[in-house]
Amino acid sequence: MDVPIYMKFYFWNVTNADDVIGKKAKPILEELGPYVYSEKHLKVNMTWNDNGTVTYMQIKTWHFEPDMSVGSRDDNITTLNVPLLAAAALIRDLNDFMKVMFNEMVNSVDTKPFVTRTVREFLFDGYDDPLLDAASVLKYLVNISIPFDKFGWFYGRNGTNYYDGVFNMDTGRTVSQLGDLHFWNNTNTTTAFDAPCNMVNGSAGELFHPRLDKTYIELYSTDICRSLRVPYKEPTSKYELGGNRYQADEMMFARPDTNPDNWCFCNGECPPAGLLNETLCRFGVPAFVSFPHMLYADPAVIGQTVGQRPNESLHNFHIDLEPLTGVPLSVRARFQINMLLKPNSDVTILYDVPTVYLPMLWFDNAVDTTPDIAAQFVTIVETVPTIMSASSFALLGLGAALLVCAALLLVALRSRQPRPGEEPLTASSTGSSLASAR
């Protein structure tokens, strides 16, 4: 029985783009959406390994749900020109001649810091950009490469098996490791962060080990190239099935002076509180991940724009799990993608832009168990402890009976005196008697 999965996309439309560049005005944001897609997962190329793990890839498919959406996929969105910012970051180490050539090309194709495209283009369809065409030529001249021919946040992902990578997951030979990732793309580390923040730790996010305690869960997100440790928050329930809620808080993306464990997520320069530097996870693009509306972020950063209104109940990240089985009851995996716009002396049109962390879009990956599935698990959760309890009492009774029998036998043996010429009853003599009796 399939559990319905939905991906809800919300876009930030910049309504005063010309003033942001021309007058360094504070960006005024309009939130559009949700644009809702149903999501399906299919595991393929599965190999069951002798060491108690399974290696697999997965195909994810998304289908637009117009009746659940607010708006059309043809809605126009004005936002930062990501290919331009990516190119500006990539040419930083090139020689002056190449930088002059780059600026000539930017001017010749009339590239601007902001672009206006449709929702469908920004998501799965992608759109052509002259800078991406130039990158395909530059890769033969310099050691840089962008592995896409179009730009779209989810371009190339719908219906393909390669984007999420290759997973190697524990099948539960040791129950406490059930669902844990051992390797992702054939390694247990990533190049996106310094050690030990580069470790591939925790669950793949769809399966957790049974008998969860009220401390934390850990899962690995391929989209942000890191593991997430999510602390226990509170008890919860879904269709009369009790669960544990694990909810992210301000410590997840905190600066090292607040959370010392986060020092290795900085990538050289720590961003403001509430932001995760994704530059090395996104091919050098100055991208930063936060919770939606920059929940838990530095208020000064939120104040760089107009329109964000963080609300913990609407914008947090949480997972509700049935603790006996580890089965997810409800998931709200919410993240926001932000870009850093700042002056760049190498690119003429970015010489005199304001410095601002600008939100691009946020998404809510929503999963909820169904009443039918919950009812089945209510039966399991209520029955298993009863069976275990009854089994325990039965084993206890059997053990007590055996103990009584052993005690009576011992008394009888001690009271029995050997006849003249007969050996006392010992382990060796017992074995000899049994052997001769065969």
What local confidence, expressed as pLDDT, does residue 391 receive? 43
Q: How confident is the model at residue 292 (pLDDT cuts 50, 70, 90)?
A: very high
Q: Which of 219-228, 270-279, 413-422 has the lowest mean pLDDT?
A: 413-422
**Token pair in block for residue 272:** 């403001």
What local confidence, expressed as pLDDT, does residue 395 receive? 45
Phi-psi domain of 133 (left: phi exceeds 0; alpha: psi -120 through 50; beta: other):
alpha
CA distance 29 to 302: 12
Model confidence pLDDT, tens digit, residues 161-178: 888 899 999 998 888 899
CA distance 368 to 243: 13
Model confidence pLDDT, tens digit, residues 346-405: 999 999 999 999 999 999 999 999 888 888 877 777 665 554 444 444 444 444 444 444
**Token pair in block for residue 283:** 């091919």
What local confidence, expressed as pLDDT, does residue 10 receive? 98
Q: Average per-residue pLDDT in the chain? A: 85
CA 306 from centre of chain = 29
Is 121 exposed, middle or buried, given 0-12, 13-18 or 19+ CB atoms closer than 10 A?
buried
Q: Which of 144-153, 210-219, 224-233 has the lowest mean pLDDT?
A: 144-153
Q: What angle do CA 388, 210, 236 make, to 5 degrees?
A: 100
Within a 10 A sphere around the Cβ of 287, how many other Cβ atoms?
A: 23
**Of 7-11, 84-88, 320-324, which one has max mean pLDDT?**
7-11
Residue 430 pLDDT exceeds 70:
no
Residue pair 361/336 in contact (Cβ under 8 Å)? The answer is: yes
What local confidence, expressed as pLDDT, does residue 144 receive? 55
Residue pair 29/359 in contact (Cβ under 8 Å)? The answer is: yes
Which of 333 and 88 is assigned the larger pLDDT? 333
Model confidence pLDDT, tens digit, residues 248-265: 999 999 999 999 999 999
* Helix H or strand E segment including 63: strand 53-64
Q: How confident is the model at residue 438 (pLDDT cuts 50, 70, 90)?
A: very low
157 has which bridge partners?
none
The length of the chain in residues reads 438
SS3 call for 97: helix
125 has which bridge partners?
none
Which of 404 and 292 is assigned the larger pLDDT? 292
CA distance 17 to 22: 9
What local confidence, expressed as pLDDT, does residue 123 receive? 97
CA distances from 177 to 19, 37, 386, 421 (A): 54, 32, 25, 61
**Token pair in block for residue 427:** 């382990």
The pTM score is 0.84
At 326, the amino acid letter reads G
Residue-by-residue DSSP string for 224-253: TTEEEEEEEEEEEEETTEEEEEEE--TTTT
Residue 134 pLDDT exceeds 70:
no
Q: How confident is the model at residue 130 (pLDDT cuts 50, 70, 90)?
A: confident
Residue 211 pLDDT exceeds 60:
yes
CA distance 45 to 62: 20
Residue pair 294/310 in contact (Cβ under 8 Å)? The answer is: yes
